[in-house]
Amino acid sequence: MKALKIIGEKKVEIAEMPKPEVKAGEVLLRLNYVGFCGSDLNTFLGRNTMALKSVIPGHEIGATIEAVGAGVPDTLKEGIVVTVNPYSNCGHCAACRNGRVNACEHNQTLGVQRNGAMCDYISLPWEKIIPVSGVTAKNCAIIEPMSVGFHAVARGEVSDTDIVVVFGCGMVGLGAIVRCVQRGAVVIAVDLSEEKLHLAKELGATYGINSKTEDLLAKVMEYTDGYGADVAIEAVGNPITYRAAIDVVGFTGRVVCIGYAKQDVEFTTKYFVQKELDIRGSRNATSNDFRAVIRYMQSLATTDASKMTEKFITAVIKPEQAQQTLEAWAADPGQVFRILVEF
């Protein structure tokens, strides 16, 4: 079978590998679409310290069941469209003991700490397979990143009385915006791209702030009657937006951090105390987050789902185009939502 591998800094190869055999308790998937995410780009650029040195990337999956092994529940049948929960958990660490398996200390995400799904076939434990009725395989490939955004909203305990600032309108940030709107919150989207801000408003954000051309803090204070936001969600991973999240949130507000900053961030810590802030990390997604995203997608009319896919997906490529595509993405990262690889 064909597999796409990142074998070194800015270096991709297409390898031939044996087709996996389906074992007892496993499901063999025929990959249809697999998304490139920001962590894959960082792996390509040699910046992802968590990734294997040579790795098959890919954990945003739209696939079809090819075969099932012995002991797999009858609900998983050949031919049905599925996505995958790409995280692992050890069952023994503090996070697992506390029932928050998405934050497992020893998690190994597909395509990062272990080989992922950018290949023709992959065999996985049946417990990680999520059947998705009424959603195309292409749309299934954007469920995982949206779930990460949904999880951040859950961590922020967003409600219909909140005004929420979302930093970053990539796929994860857009997922957070959708979920905030579902919960009845007023959303202020922040990005450097007018195109992304326009899409954020289409998804229900009330306001959009281009922090490159507008005074971010002044605008947030204008939109919140001087109080500041109730919740700030950082989905960029940049020291500037990390600090800005502390600045724009009001007294007793909540700050939720999703993005990984590539360097240490300095804070004026008096605001932590004076504002009595709740600062929370948000990692991966839970089964409930996946279910919520799937329900959202199922609620869309066919035409709306098609339009959403067209806007969320910047390009669909073949594996052989990965090298040039990743190079172009690295040169202009701000203009990309999601790139799908079609197998």
CA angle 192, 195, 196 (to 5 degrees): 65
Cβ(186)–Cβ(230) below 8 Å: no
Cα 150 off chain centre by: 9
CA angle 7, 10, 12 (to 5 degrees): 45
Work out whether strand 60-68 and strand 81-84 pair parallel, antiparallel, or are unpaired: antiparallel
**Measured distance CA(117)–CA(129) in Å, rounded:** 13
pLDDT at 226: 98
CA angle 153, 294, 233 (to 5 degrees): 15
In this structure, the number of other CB atoms found within 10 A of the CB of residue 283 comes to: 17
Q: Which two tokens mark 289?
A: 């987050």
The secondary structure element, H or E, covering residue 61 is strand 60-68
For the segment 238-288, what is each residue's pLDDT rounded down to a tens digit? Answer: 999 999 999 999 999 999 999 988 889 999 999 999 999 999 999 999 999
Confidence band of 305 (pLDDT split at 50, 70, 90):
low
For the segment 146-159, what is each residue's pLDDT rounded down to a tens digit? Answer: 999 999 999 999 99
Cβ(200)–Cβ(172) below 8 Å: no
**Measured distance CA(315)–CA(255) in Å, rounded:** 32
